[in-house]
Amino acid sequence: MDSKCPLFINGEFIDTPNRQNIINPSTGRVIAEASMASFKEVDLALSAARSAFDSGPWTAFSLAERKDFILKIAQGILDEAAVLAQLETQNTGKPIKETTFMDVPSSARAFDFAANNFMDYLRDEEISVSGEAKACLSREPLGVALLVIPWNYPLLIACWKLASALAAGNTVVLKPSSLTPLTAFELAKIIRKSGLPPGVVNVVNGSGSLIGEELCADRRLDMISFTGSNETGRQILQYSSKSVKKMTMELGGKSASIIFDDVDPEVAVNSSLTSIFLNQGEMCTAMSRILVQESIYDRFLADFTNKARRIKLGIAEDFQTQMGPLINDAQRKKVMAYIDKAKAEGSRLVCGGRIPEDPELKNGYFLEPAVLADVNTHSRIFREEVFGPVVLINKFSGPDEAVKLANDADFGLAACVWSKDLSLAREVSRQINAGTIWVNTYGMFYNQLPYGGFKQSGFGKEMGQSGFLEYTRLKNTVLDLSPEGKPLVNFWYGL
C-alpha cells in the first residue's frame, strides 16, 4: 500500500499540501497519509465532471461501449480483491473474513449486475394516449452526481452508487469519508486502468465541515446521493437548497427484530447475534432492538447472552477474529455514553459494554458486545441510533404489541420477523413501517432488489431497477398523429 494517497481528478492523481493521517482502529497506528481537498480541488473536480458530461466522449459512447467499461471495473475489483480486502480491514477495523468474503465480492457484483441489466432499464416505452397522439417515455442520465460515502462500508456503498451512476451515463464526484478513504483511492486506480475517460469519475477526499457546503451547493451538480448520519443528512439538505438538484438519502436506523415463540431457538439466537454484532454493530440495518415473545424470552436472553460473551474480539487482520474495533475512540466513547445513560434510566446490562482487558487490544478501539434487558421503551437508547455493538432485548405478548413496539421509532429502515407461520409473518411484515423486511433471515441484499428506508431513515432507493432509475431523468415526448398533420391547437386561434 502506498502510504501517500492523492486525490483523483480529471484522470490524474493530485497531491495536496493538506494531509490527514489514516488510523488503523485495531492498533491505533498511522497506516497512511491521505491528501485533503480544499476549495481549489473541489472546483477542479466539479469542472472536470461537468465538462466530461457536457462535452466529453462519455455521453457519446454507445450502450455497448459503456457496458464494456463497467465490466472492466468489475473485473478490476476482482483482480485486486486481496489488496482491497486488506485495505478495508486496516482502515475500518472490520474483520478480514468480512471484507474478503462479503464486501469485496459484493462490490464487484454490483458493477457486474449494472452492466448486464442497465440496457433493459433504459428501454424507451411507447404509450398510445388517444387516436390522435402517442408518447415516448425515455430515460436519460441526470448529469453530474455527487456520491457521499459513509465510513462503515466505504467500498461496498461506493460501488453500489458508482455502478448505477455510471451505467446510467452520469459523471461522478465521489466523496469518501475522510476517516476511511483508502479503498476509494484504490478504486480510482482500477477506474483509471479501465480506460474510463478523464473526468468521468473524480475522487475528492476532504473534511465535510470544510468542503461540504462548497460541494453540495454548487450549481454544476445535478444530483446528490448520500449515505450517512441524520445530522449530516440535514446539513446536506440545507446546503443543497441553494440550487435545486435531485437527492437520495439513506440515513440512520433503529431496526427491530420480532421473534415469535414457534421459531427454532438455535437459529433465532445465532441469526440474531449476526444481525447486531456483524461489523461491530456499525450498520444502519443493525437489529439493535430484539423483541421476543414472552413465553421464550428468558431462554432466548440466556442463550443469546452466553453466546455474545464468547464472540472473539481481536485484531481485524486475524482470520480468527469475529468482531473488530469500533472506527475510533470518539465513537467508542459515544457508544459507552449511551450504555451508561440506559443504565441510569433503569435498563439492566446483562453483559459486555466494557473495554476488554486483553493487552493485545489495548491500543485499539475495542468494546465488548453489550446486551441490555428490561429497557424502558421511552428511554433514549430505545429510540436513538447507537451505531455500535449494543442490543436491547425486550419481550412482547402478541403480534399487536410487537408491531407497536417495532414501529415506535422515528426510523423505518429495516426489520426482521421470525416465525414458522408464514401467514403471520407476512401480516406482521405488512404492518411494519420499514423499507426492507427480512423474514426468517437477516441482511440478505440482492442486486435485483431495491433498498432504502422510510420516515427519518431517508428517501430514495439503492440497487435494483428502482435504485438504478434514481440516477436517471424521465423525459416525455408527445407525438401528434392528427389527420393531415393538423392538431387541435392549430384551430384554436386559426379560425
Q: Which three cell numbers stand for residue 349?
A: 446490562
The catalytic position among 88, 98, 186, 250 is 250
Q: Which amino acid is at 9?
A: I
The residue assigned the cell 478513504 is 181
Residue 445: what are its φ and ψ, rounded to 5°?
A: -100, 130
Report the 10 Å Cβ neighbour count for 101.
12
Other beta carbons within 10 Å of 492: 8
For 31, what's the count of Cα atoms within 13 Å in the CB-facing half-sphere? 20
- Rounded to 5 degrees, φ, ψ at 370 are -105, 140
Record the cell numbers describing residue 132, joined without a space: 390522435
Give the DSSP letter of residue 59. G
Helix, strand or coil, per DSSP, at residue 234: helix
Distance CA 152, CA 251 (A): 13
Residues with Cβ within 8 Å of 261's Cβ and at least 6 positions away in sequence, in order, are 293, 295, 296
Cα→Cα distances 387→170, 280, 281, 332, Å: 32, 8, 6, 10
- How many other C-beta atoms are found inside a 10 Å radius of the C-beta of residue 485? 8
Alpha carbon 295 to its chain centroid, in Å, reads: 36
- Rg of the chain, C-alpha, whole Å: 24
C-alpha cell at 393: 432485548
Handedness of CA 352, 353, 357, 359 (dihedral sign): positive
Round to whole Å and give the CA distance between 158 and 174. Answer: 8
The reply to whether 284 belongs to the active site is: yes
Strands 171-175 and 144-148: parallel
DSSP 3-state assignment of 133?
A: strand
Q: Single out the catalytic residue among 284, 385, 462, 470.
A: 284
Note whether 376 and 331 are within 8 A (CB). no
Is 5 tagged catalytic?
Answer: no
Give the catalytic positions in this structure. 250, 284
